[in-house]
Amino acid sequence: MKPDQNSEYDHDSSSDVYDRSFYRRRLANDSGRLFTSGPSEIEIVKSLRGDCLNEKGTKCSRVQVHDYGELDRALSGTEDIVIIFQQENSWDRLKTSEEVVTALLSRLDIFIPFLDHIHSFGYRSNDIGDDYHNFSLTLRKQPKTNEVQTGYGKAPSWNRNINPLTVIPEICFNIRYPAKNGRSTGNPWSIRQTTLYHQFDHSKRRHIWVAIQPSDDYREQMLRIMNSSLCEDELVWAIDTACLVSANRYWREYIVHLQEAVRTLENKALYSRVGVPARKDFVVSFTHSQQLQRLRKKMLTAKFLLESSEAIATRYGEQTSSRRCKDVMCDYVFQVRNAIARIANTLEALDCAYHMILEILRYRNDEINRSNNHALLNNGIVLSQLIAASAKQSEALNELTKKTQRDSRAVKILSMVAALYLPASLIASVFSSGLVESIPADTSTSSSQKTAFRLASQFWIFPVSTLVLASCTLAPVVLWLAKESHRRRRDP
């Protein structure tokens, strides 16, 4: 069976307040994010009235439907019924289609604010989303029965004695709560959400609930309530309040988890040395201030969720006429306020630890700057001393240079004098050696004392030996230079 695409879900108390065309357009535009493209997976829980039992010996039965035809057949009975829409995970799409939801809205005449709650679900790629919280209540005019004070407001009694006119409330609320995600690494907690809608179907004298992504705890509690021996008036508000109470189950454990994380960083702030850290001291860095800010964000989110839960429970308690329900809601509100107070105290400790860590880091930074400035001052003093010593060395070098210049002039003068006497010394050395012989100039005249000079017969040894020794000295040098030149030409 295909649902009517043009079905209207007008409502006498909301038709003048809400723009139905806007909600239909928004639902169509967001259908890709909200609903899956595969077959629907909708769980139906039915509860028999009175002491009637089904073939399994229980008062309620469960069935899975996959399209609107099956859903419509499931709604055709007269039992109290719970319709459960599910997600694969809290960031995934609802396992149903836009057509099924639209047809269900028309079939049950669900008030339009329910669509605001649906839009808080759907696909997301991170933890940034539409964190919607609200308690929606609408009064519907219906044919009247004998009025008795039951679940909430003035609801019909179960004796079905029809009278002229009565007002039936229609409620819907969204609750967000912490739950363990089962991850072995990273944050072990996630924030989940559940939406519960409740109306009284006057035509069949039954109650209808629509639950979106209920927790496993709430689902089990709902089945226990529907299978219990509670009177029908108490069962009505028990299913509603169980949604709030089951969502409150893990708040204490989650707050303790946050407090332990804060306490670890708080100990580092309280017991770390203020000055230069010692070897066995706590390590305090700017990363810890970032961790505190992330914890602060989580705690502010938790505080906001708890305050929203408190407002929903307070509003629900104001609408009910059941004394037991009011007591349950008062107890719930007290627990929530206690959790809010614990978070407020932890936030104060977190802020103190955050500012203390910043002060420690600031003080250490000042100490480091002061130490660096002192070191720079000492370096300046040493540098000035080095400059003074360098100036003295420069003066000594100038004096040495001047003295060297004077000595150079003296050596130059002596060298010039030696150069002047060098030819005479060379001639004197040659003539005083055996290379030149002195012989008489004329042997015929014995009285004559004239002599003459002549080269010795071994004079040739002197130039030959000089050439040979010079060649032996220069030959290796010439060969080495030639080899290096050849290597450079070969390997440029």
List of long-range contacts for 278-284, beta carbons under 8 Å, 24+ apart: 284/357, 284/360, 284/361
- Tens digit of pLDDT for each residue in 71-85? 888 888 888 899 999
pLDDT exceeds cutoff 80 at 438: no
Task: Report d(CA 166, CA 139) in Å as an integer.
Answer: 10
Task: Report d(CA 448, CA 459) in Å as an integer.
Answer: 28
201: tokens are 């179907």
Of 52 and 360, the structure prediction assigns the larger pLDDT to 360
pLDDT at 150: 41
Look at 276-285, 304-313, 468-477 and tell me which has the smallest mean pLDDT: 276-285
pLDDT exceeds cutoff 90 at 140: no
pLDDT exceeds cutoff 80 at 50: no
Reported residue count of the chain is: 492
pLDDT exceeds cutoff 90 at 195: yes
- On whether the CB atoms of residues 350 and 296 are closer than 8 A, the answer is yes
pLDDT exceeds cutoff 80 at 363: yes
pLDDT at 157: 34
- On whether the CB atoms of residues 195 and 212 are closer than 8 A, the answer is yes
pLDDT exceeds cutoff 60 at 70: yes
Report residue 55's pLDDT band, with 50, 70 and 90 as the boundaries. Answer: low
- On whether the CB atoms of residues 353 and 269 are closer than 8 A, the answer is yes
Look at 96-110, 163-177, 198-212, 478-492 and tell me which has the smallest mean pLDDT: 163-177
- Segment 175-203 mean pLDDT: 88
- The Cβ of residue 121 has, within 10 Å, a number of other Cβ atoms equal to 26
- HSE-CB of 313 using CA atoms within 13 angstroms: 30
Q: How many percent of the chain have pLDDT more than 70? A: 84
Of 141 and 256, the structure prediction assigns the larger pLDDT to 256
Q: Which residues of 249-281 are buried (b: 16+ CB within 10 A; e: fewer)?
A: ebbeebbebbbebbeebbebbeebeeeeeeeee
Report residue 290's pLDDT band, with 50, 70 and 90 as the boundaries. Answer: very high
Report which residue type is found at 107. R
Task: Report d(CA 199, CA 138) in Å as an integer.
Answer: 10
Q: What is the overall mean pLDDT for the chain?
A: 82
Task: Report d(CA 250, CA 118) in Å as an integer.
Answer: 24
Report CA-CA distances (Å) from 304 to 248, 299, 300, 337, 345: 14, 8, 6, 12, 15
pLDDT exceeds cutoff 90 at 434: no
Identity of the highest mean pLDDT range in 349-358, 417-426, 481-490: 349-358
